[in-house]
Structure 1
Amino acid sequence: MITRRHFLNTAAATAGLAATSVNAQGYLIPEQQLPRIVRIDRDYAPGEIHVEPGNFKLYFMFSPGMAMEYSVGIGRAGLYESGDFIIQVKKEWPSWTPTPEMIERDPGSYLQYEDGMEGGINNPLGARALYLFKGNRDTFLRIHGTNAPRTIGSAVSNGCVRLVNSHISDLYNRVPLNTRAVLH
């Protein structure tokens, strides 16, 4: 349950987040893409993440009808996978390895990384990653940062949900393991 004090502290922290997000990675993030606390009229439970691909938004629910809203990029046509997932792993500056399907689709871009890439600013998973599981099976879907902030608000990824690095860092700090994440 979210107390009034927690809510007000979160609002204050968010004000600071918005200020630091304005110039992430040298890119001026449009004001409408900055995180904010919103009222929503969906029947989403507190403590859950919900991604609405049609409006490129991710909601982390504080209480019934109150959420932190983040702008996201999603999987391009044919690669976005809706479903009900659990976050079983969280990583800071995660390493990345393209899936065999990614390499098959675009060997020119991905074959060079078939043995993986260490975490860091040039890594496609960005600053933080939340790993989506079904049961005990890793789906290889992630909610993660990006080193390409201009892609927020579009469908360009290989299936994952991406946020600006400062925004995923904020979400990462809010979300405990075993959080339900629904990709609508």
Structure 2
Amino acid sequence: MFGLAAVLAPHSAFAAKVQKKFVLDAKYQPQTVDFPNSYLVGTVVVDPGNRYLYLVETGISARRYGVGVGKAGLAWSGTAQVARKAKWPSWMPTANMIKRDPAKYGKYAKGLEGGPSNPLGARALYLYRNGRDTYYRIHGTTEPWTIGQAVSNGCIRMLNDHVTDLYDRVPIGTTVVVL
């Protein structure tokens, strides 16, 4: 492929999916909500059952975002810290992802550079526990219609605009609690 067609063509199977039309349910738009809690201000709390991520603003409120979460058997819970942040991060499927679905992930075994066709989207927050990478991320997505669903390999996915907003608000060292 050459010329304009090469520029417009998706660079991966993931990019092709971005073309799909969707309307995000209003409840998944970022908004400040009542959130009585005992967390420190700035803590990120993920509620996978309800498909929300909360950024604690006070003892009674939080900024809420809609998220996509891990499929049954692939979700995780616990406490971690944001140890690294990246803009337009590169991505490589884990060995377990390739083992579970070699047809889908095997071709990406050497990784995929960051950009609009990368499944991690515009930003990624890397979650570590006890100084070790959990391999779970809070990241953007090339599949925005999956917000509000349990579809991922365990990561927390957000719309690219939403994860960019969160990225700008959350410093390295932030505590993340996944219920």
Does the aligned pair in 2 maintain the 1:44–1:65 contact within 8 Å?
A: no
How big is the alpha-carbon RMSD for the aligned residues of Structure 1 and Structure 2?
Answer: 1.3
1:31 corresponding residue in structure 2: 26
Residues 8-87 of structure 1: matches in 2 within 5 Å?
Answer: 27-87=22-82
Does the aligned pair in 1 maintain the 2:28–2:52 contact within 8 Å?
A: no
Question: 1:40: Cα distance to partner?
Answer: 1.0
From the two aligned structures, give the one with the greater helix fraction: 1
TM-score, normalisation: structure 1:
0.85
Deviations 1:57-83 (A, max 9, x none): 000011111110000000000000101
Q: Which amino acid aligns with 1:140?
A: Y
Identity of aligned residues (%): 48
Q: In 1, distance between residues paired with 2:78 and 2:117? A: 29
Q: In 1, distance between residues paired with 2:161 and 2:104? A: 26
2:175 corresponding residue in structure 1: 180
2:9 corresponding residue in structure 1: none
- 2:102 equivalent to 1:124: no
Q: In 2, distance between residues paired with 1:49 and 1:106? A: 31
Q: Which amino acid aligns with 1:181?
A: V
1:110 corresponding residue in structure 2: 105
Structure 2: tracts of 5 or more residues without a match = 1-17
Q: In 2, distance between residues paired with 1:74 and 1:59? A: 14
TM-score, normalisation: structure 2:
0.87
2:15 corresponding residue in structure 1: none
Q: Which amino acid aligns with 1:109?
A: K
